[in-house]
Chain A
Amino acid sequence: MTEIAPTSQFDLDRAWTVDPRVALRPESFGALAYHFGTRRLSFLKSRTLLCVVQQLGEHATGRDACRAAAVPDVELATYQAALARLAATGMICERDPR
């Protein structure tokens, strides 16, 4: 069972990916993410955040994924907090950076 980690521990400079038990469904307002294991439903309130999440597995670091999704530098902290939340609820997880 996933523990809920404090949001301050999220490391943008590691490699992340969407957990294989998660279904992501784009919506006009962003996306819904459903985790089949935890039965948690998350509401992603931005299409940009969806872009970031979808690209996590393709980039060496979370920071790179944010850049690729055109997250403005000034908003990076907000996206980092959102990613931290997704990690804390098990929606995204660390992966081997290879």
Chain B
Amino acid sequence: MSPSAAIAEPGTRLVEQFQAGLDAPICLTWELTYACNLACVHCLSSSGRRDPRELSTAECLGVIDELELMQVFYVNIGGGEPTVRRDFWEIVDYATGHHVGVKFSTNGSRITAAVAQRLAASDYVDVQISLDGATPEVNDPVRGPGSYDTAIKAMRNLAEAGFRGFKLSVVMTRTNVDQLDAFKAIADNYQAQLRITRLRPSGRGADVWDELHPTAVQQRILYDWLVAHGEQVLTGDSFFHLAGYGEPLPGLNLCGAGRVVCLIDPIGDVYACPFAIHDAFLAGNVRQPGGFTAVWRESELFRSLRAPQTGGICHSCQHFDSCRGGCMAAKFFTGLPLDGPDPECVLGHGEAALARRDAGAMPRPGSDHSRVLPAKACDESPLTILPSGQPDPLIRIERLIEDGQRLV
């Protein structure tokens, strides 16, 4: 038992216990690889190229041994595209054979009929298919040509294999907010459960956030839709920053980062959450003495996150109890102070803060494993190169639409 764990008074709310942190995560995100066959414009982990320092199979199984001892209930496995790892099934089976449930997030490219059968037959493994448009016209500019078809095919395979209740996970953007009903219909059609989550300015998301994050009007539409659909739709509690519109949405309305959840990245780095891959939110590495357990229980970063948070200038707002000042990753990567409003504050305080900030001094994503575009810049088709050295992703979107070019 950690020194910080107090004995709860009867009636102590779960949220208060969670904010102080637990001796083990409840669940966590584990990015198995930075390799990916896609190059989504908003990728929160800036994935594409495998990192040569990736955890070995043995190291991965060692992490699972630790998670079992800590009684972590569940890992959400992602990446990159986790199924491109050759030891993917070995890792999944080892986890489920050692009391650790698995949900893995995939673009669907390896969910063949045979794989779907295997998944449908195994307990304790859940699947989450990523899709960001209810039509290819909306989806493919974000996720790449053919990616819509790939996802739908995976869903069809899962449905035909009798796998009910897998997740269809959508990141809400300016281009897909008017497709909420259509997403629900797709999920219903394949007997899946719809999950919608917030776009964060994380990873490559930083480069497209200004253009892709929902407008204030769209946020309201989104909130109203979520209220109308209650617990049928999952959100990963990612919309608690919208609580100021009215009743809080289902969920804890709590930032779990470093308190009840965290991220383990492909090279064993432990971050507060998958939306915060940056040195400022790096707690340690599983390869350190004491492994993941020591990082979770003793890192300076997590200690500070588990200390009482004042909420800064948001504290006096009437909505603070449910909004909690919003998402620290959203604030950090838009260059806003962590003790101020969320960039999408429903009262507009975030917009005001964005207008005041020094837009030239914004943090860059911590690690960039993006693949460089194969095409060369030329007079007829110039590629704007951003300060990071990466091509401008908005130009990439336009080229995808115009040329039907496939990123390899």
Contacts and interface: CB of A to CB of B under 8 A. Distances in A.
Contacts, number: 41
B183 interface: no
Contacts of A30: 8
Interface of A: 23, 25, 27-30, 32, 34, 36, 41, 43, 45-46
A29 B123 contact: no
Given A32-B26, A36-B123, A45-B12, A23 B6 contact: no
Contacts of A36: 73, 101, 123-124
Given A28-B1, A28-B5, A28-B6, A23 B26 contact: no
Given A43-B14, A43-B17, A45-B10, A27 B22 contact: yes
B5 A25 contact: no
Contacts of B11: 45
A10 B99 CA distance: 30
Contact of A34 (B6, B10, B73): B73
Contacts of B71: 23, 25
A45 B24 CA distance: 17
Most buried by A among B1, B5, B73, B101: B73
A41 B23 CA distance: 16
8 contacts: A25-B24, A25-B71, A27-B17, A32-B73, A34-B73, A36-B73, A43-B14, A45-B10
Given A32-B73, A36-B73, 8 more contacts: A23-B73, A25-B71, A27-B5, A28-B1, A29-B5, A43-B14, A45-B11, A46-B10
Interface string B59-79: 000000000000101100000
B7 interface: yes
A27 B12 contact: no
Contacts of A41: 26, 73
A91 B31 CA distance: 30
Nearest to B5: A28
A46 B6 CA distance: 12
Nearest to B99: A23
A27 B22 CA distance: 8
The 3 A-B pairs at the shortest CB distance, nearest first, are namely A29-B8, A28-B5, A34-B73
